[in-house]
Amino acid sequence: MTFTVPRFEKPIMFSALSLCAALCLSQAPTAITEKPPEPVSLSSNAHAPTAFRGALALTAASAAVVGSGVASYYLGRAWPQSRYEELGLPVPLAVSGGLVIAMLSNLVITQLLVPECMRLADDGFMKGDTWEARLNGLRWAKWPALASLASVSVLIAGSAIESRNFGNGQALIAGGLVGFLASWLAYVIVDVWGTYRGYVDSRHERRPLW
């Protein structure tokens, strides 16, 4: 006895088989394609140098600041000392002038030496820009520097009053001196740290010589 599938049932059977095949294929595991890792370049790494090199650069910069302070002290001391030896008493305007000389000389020496000390943070792969470091230090320390300038102005005004009327300008002299010392100390600290940060941020890959 043979079984014959009616004609109208053949399309239904083929449709059912196609549906089952599609469902089986949809459940089959698909191949997972992983994205290959991107090559890492030095430019994408952190700009900061090693802790040793950073500490070495900051230590050298601090030593330069101390040396600059000592040199500036003796440069600013020459004029007031000569006036004192000549007259036998301190001259307020000469003291203020000596302080201005010391401040300007300290500013020039530190701006020449401190950014160069940051080269100690360089390594065989990356180096920084001393010009960018110098500009960043000045940007960070502009407000303490302006406070120092204002304090020196008060000191000069007090010295001028004291030269004309003895005892009347001492309060201004004392206030200007205290303000100058505090603001200049803040300037030196902020300038060194701002110079270091500017040097670190400007670090880039060394270019080959050939």
* Across 79-90, average pLDDT: 88
**Using CB atoms within 10 A of its CB, is residue 135 exposed (0-12), middle (13-18) or buried (19+)?**
middle
Q: Would residue 210 count as lying in a domain? A: no
Higher pLDDT residue, 38 or 65?
65
Q: What does the DSSP assignment read for 40-79? A: P-GGGS-----HHHHHHHHHHHHHHHHHHHHHHHHHHHHH
Q: Would residue 79 count as lying in a domain? A: yes
Higher pLDDT residue, 166 or 109?
109
Residue 123 domain boundaries: 49-205
Q: Would residue 11 count as lying in a domain? A: no
* Across 85-104, average pLDDT: 90
The predicted structure's pLDDT at residue 202: 92
Least Cα distance to 123 among 56, 206, 42, 208 occurs for 206
**pLDDT of 141-171, one tens digit each?**
999 999 999 999 999 999 999 888 887 888 9
The predicted structure's pLDDT at residue 126: 87
**pLDDT of 3-51, one tens digit each?**
454 554 444 454 444 545 544 544 545 444 455 544 444 443 456 888 9
Q: Would residue 6 count as lying in a domain? A: no
Say how many domains are in the chain. Answer: 1
Q: Would residue 107 count as lying in a domain? A: yes
Q: Would residue 63 count as lying in a domain? A: yes
Q: Would residue 9 count as lying in a domain? A: no
First to last CA, the chain: 92
